[in-house]
């Protein structure tokens, strides 16, 4: 499915399931991209809205007693003299009442002594109830500051850090923005203490300038969250009596989570939870029946420096192999990967005949262990015209025993795919608004495809949407994300009915212990519906 939107490091969602400790909140990765609302703390009006009074004090280096490294490689050796910073003003209870008060509109004024020099800025930020018509309750609040030249940011007395960290609370780079999470479930009236340590640099080549604040703001984001299951309005167009054996007469669609930019590729895990992709957010989410949402895997599809160019850099389709290992379609990385039981990632396929794959979209295993997947270019920033696109076609592939074979290039945008229960046929639908078809291919004994025919054509549907996800139940019925809703087709090609919901589902997974619950990932939400026929699961 191609659907563009904001890229955000939505690993912040994981913080909503933490204990709420200060360090956990401050350490959470901050979402990037356009905010839903923002307060400019360098203006009098903005600082007033956030209750932010800027205070300033020079910082200096002072000589202190310390110890040299001992045999344990810790400071347990002979006494020595070294340098420390004074004052230590990051603490939440540090008394800055005697410091200079700064006009927020004059933060551009140069401070400290120049050359190798340091400075402290402190301010309290109070979450306002609203910013214009935007209500802040429940949002993620992110503090961003750009100090000329470097900065470290303390939040409520905490400076969390971990090996390899770049940015966030620590120095990100020369005149680069430092972004730290202030709150993941913002509550109006909540006050957060922020302390910023400014550094002039480069330190090894001290410049003839001073420290000053280029910009400072608080961004607010509406982030995904789990909700208590609630019934939503949904209708079932019953076009054939056979639909009554599949969809109960009193059907109920429940919403389980909301606030996503776009979600895809769900898979029910044997442990009793659901994994699904956020292609726009570059994460894999985890939902458990206790209504808890967290991030299972961050940077699920791309780690490149040019990620801001992408609409959907993250993972898409997910499935399990015969050993229960998660197999992942990675859009931005142009590849299929497998997550091993020990946490390692194995690359299964990333190129065909020396050329990079486009952006693997969906995938399914055959009972013999062979992996079949579709490879349209919808994960690339400019789709068919993207400079990263190396293959001149969109293919359907089979990977078996390390050998990748191209099976067909019939479709413009091959998307969802699934086997019939007896594996005699492979169904593939086409994400093409001018050709809304489901293809059915005969599966030869050697696993290759033959006899491809149009199984069902949705060209007469009045809605504009193309086809997306596709799944099959144990009776051979197809469930297709098509124009206007979930199209249920019999194995003979009859249109049995359509489920219409508040949002168009992108893909599906059969879940719960009996496999009769259809989980659906949609534009902004996660849904489920109990059916009478169990589905085919990995």
CA angle 510, 410, 438 (to 5 degrees): 35
**C-alpha–C-alpha distance, residues 127 and 183, integer Å:** 9
| Residue 513 near residue 252 (C-beta atoms within 8 A) | no
Burial class (CB in 10 A: 0-12, 13-18, 19+), 167: middle
Whole-Å CA distances, 504 to 129, 278, 323, 431, 536: 33, 16, 32, 14, 22
For the stretch 129-135, contacts whose Cβ atoms lie closer than 8 Å and that sit 24 or more positions apart, written own/partner, are 129/188, 129/189, 130/188, 131/37, 131/38, 131/39, 131/49, 131/220, 132/37, 134/36, 134/37, 134/220
**C-alpha–C-alpha distance, residues 354 and 114, integer Å:** 54
pLDDT bin (cut points 50, 70, 90) of residue 237 is very high
Structural tokens at position 337 = 């990967």
Structural tokens at position 185 = 């479930």
At 351 the pLDDT is 98
Residue 305 clears pLDDT 90, i.e. is over it: no
**HEC profile for 359-402?**
CCCCEEECCCCCEEEEECCCCCCCHHHCCCCCCCCCEEEEEECC
CA angle 133, 139, 143 (to 5 degrees): 100
Domain at 225-530, CATH class: mainly beta
Give the range among 24-33, 351-360, 440-449, 489-498 with minimum mean pLDDT.
24-33
pLDDT, one tens digit per residue, over 161-180 is: 877 777 889 999 999 999 99
Residue 12 clears pLDDT 60, i.e. is over it: no
> 177: which residues sit within 8 A by CB, 6+ positions away?
144, 145, 146, 215
Buried b (16+ CB within 10 A) or exposed e, 460-491: ebeeebbbbbbbbbeebbbbbbbbbbbbbbbb
pLDDT, one tens digit per residue, over 370-426 is: 999 999 999 999 999 999 999 999 999 999 999 999 999 999 999 999 999 999 999
At 420 the pLDDT is 98
> 383: which residues sit within 8 A by CB, 6+ positions away?
2, 377
Burial class (CB in 10 A: 0-12, 13-18, 19+), 166: exposed
More confident residue, 307 or 86: 86
| Residue 171 near residue 152 (C-beta atoms within 8 A) | yes
The edge-to-edge listing of strands for the beta sheet with 507-511 is 225-232, 253-258, 525-530, 517-521, 507-511
pLDDT, one tens digit per residue, over 19-42 is: 233 333 335 568 777 889 999 999
Classify domain 17-221 by CATH number: 2.60.120.260
CA 228 distance to own-chain centroid: 22
Sign of CA dihedral 241, 247, 253, 256: negative
At 11 the pLDDT is 32
Q: 148, 232, 161: which is closest to 196 by C-alpha? A: 148
17-221 and 225-530 have identical folds: no
Indicate the pTM of the whole model. 0.74
Q: 114, 154, 136: which is closest to 35 by C-alpha? A: 136
Residue 62 clears pLDDT 60, i.e. is over it: yes
Q: 250, 214, 257, 218: which is closest to 234 by C-alpha? A: 250
| Residue 355 near residue 343 (C-beta atoms within 8 A) | no
pLDDT, one tens digit per residue, over 218-236 is: 999 988 989 999 999 999 9
At 22 the pLDDT is 32
CA angle 66, 67, 73 (to 5 degrees): 135
**C-alpha–C-alpha distance, residues 99 and 57, integer Å:** 6
Return the domain boundaries, the chain. 17-221, 225-530
pLDDT, one tens digit per residue, over 453-507 is: 999 999 999 999 999 999 999 999 999 999 999 999 999 999 999 999 999 999 9
Mean residue pLDDT across the chain: 93
Structural tokens at position 518 = 């259809």
């Amino acid at each position: 499915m191609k659907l563009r939107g904001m890229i955000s490091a939505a690993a912040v969602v994981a913080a909503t399931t933490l204990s709420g400790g200060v360090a956990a909140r401050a350490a959470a990765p901050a979402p990037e991209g356009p905010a839903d609302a923002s307060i400019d703390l360098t203006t009098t009006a903005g600082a007033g809205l956030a209750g932010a009074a800027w205070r300033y004090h020079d910082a200096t280096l002072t000589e202190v007693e310390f110890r040299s490294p001992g045999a344990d490689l810790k400071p347990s050796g002979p006494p020595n003299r070294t340098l420390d910073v004074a004052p230590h003003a990051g603490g939440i209870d540090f008394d800055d009442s005697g410091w200079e008060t700064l006009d927020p509109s004059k933060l551009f004024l140069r401070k400290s002594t120049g050359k190798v020099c340091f400075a402290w800025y402190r301010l309290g930020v109070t979450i306002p109830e609203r910013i214009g018509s935007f209500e802040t309750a429940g949002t993620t609040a992110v503090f961003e500051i750009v100090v000329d030249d470097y900065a470290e940011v303390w939040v409520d007395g905490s400076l969390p850090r971990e090996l390899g960290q770049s940015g966030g609370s620590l120095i990100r780079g020369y005149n680069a923005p430092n972004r730290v999470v202030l709150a993941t479930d913002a509550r109006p009236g909540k006050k957060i203490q922020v302390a910023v340590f400014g550094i002039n640099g480069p330190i090894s080549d001290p410049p003839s300038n001073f420290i000053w604040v280029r910009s400072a703001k608080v961004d607010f984001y509406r982030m995904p969250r789990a909700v208590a299951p609630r019934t939503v309005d949904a209708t079932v167009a019953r076009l054939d009596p056979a639909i009554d054996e599949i969809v109960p007469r009193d059907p109920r669609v429940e919403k389980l989570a909301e606030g996503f930019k776009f979600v895809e590729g769900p898979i029910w895990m044997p442990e009793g939870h659901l994994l699904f992709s956020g292609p726009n957010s570059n994460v894999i989410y985890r939902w458990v029946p206790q209504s808890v949402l967290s991030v299972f895997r961050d940077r699920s599809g791309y780690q490149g420096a040019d990620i801001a160019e992408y609409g959907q850099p993250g993972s898409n389709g997910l499935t399990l192999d015969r050993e229960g290992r998660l197999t992942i379609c990675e859009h931005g990385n142009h590849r299929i990967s497998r997550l091993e039981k020990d946490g390692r990632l194995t690359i299964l396929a990333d190129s065909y005949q020396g050329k990079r794959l486009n952006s693997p979209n969906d995938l399914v295993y055959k009972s013999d262990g062979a992996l079949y997947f579709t490879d349209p270019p919808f994960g690339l920033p400019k789709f068919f015209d993207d400079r990263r696109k190396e293959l001149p076609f969109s293919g359907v592939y089979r990977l078996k025993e390390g050998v990748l074979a191209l099976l067909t290039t019939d479709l413009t945008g091959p998307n969802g795919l699934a086997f019939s229960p007896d594996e005699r046929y492979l169904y593939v639908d086409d994400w093409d608004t001018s050709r809304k078809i489901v293809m059915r291919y005969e599966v030869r004994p050697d696993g290759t495809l033959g006899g491809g025919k149009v199984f069902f054509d949705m060209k007469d549907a009045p809605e504009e949407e193309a086809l997306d996800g596709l799944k099959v139940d144990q009776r051979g019925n197809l469930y297709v994300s098509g124009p206007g809703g979930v199209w249920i087709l019999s194995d003979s090609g009859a249109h049995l009915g359509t489920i219409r919901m508040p949002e168009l589902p992108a893909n599906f997974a059969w879940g719960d212990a009996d496999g009769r619950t259809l989980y659906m990932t949609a534009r902004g939400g996660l849904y489920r519906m109990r059916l009478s026929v169990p589905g085919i699961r990995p």
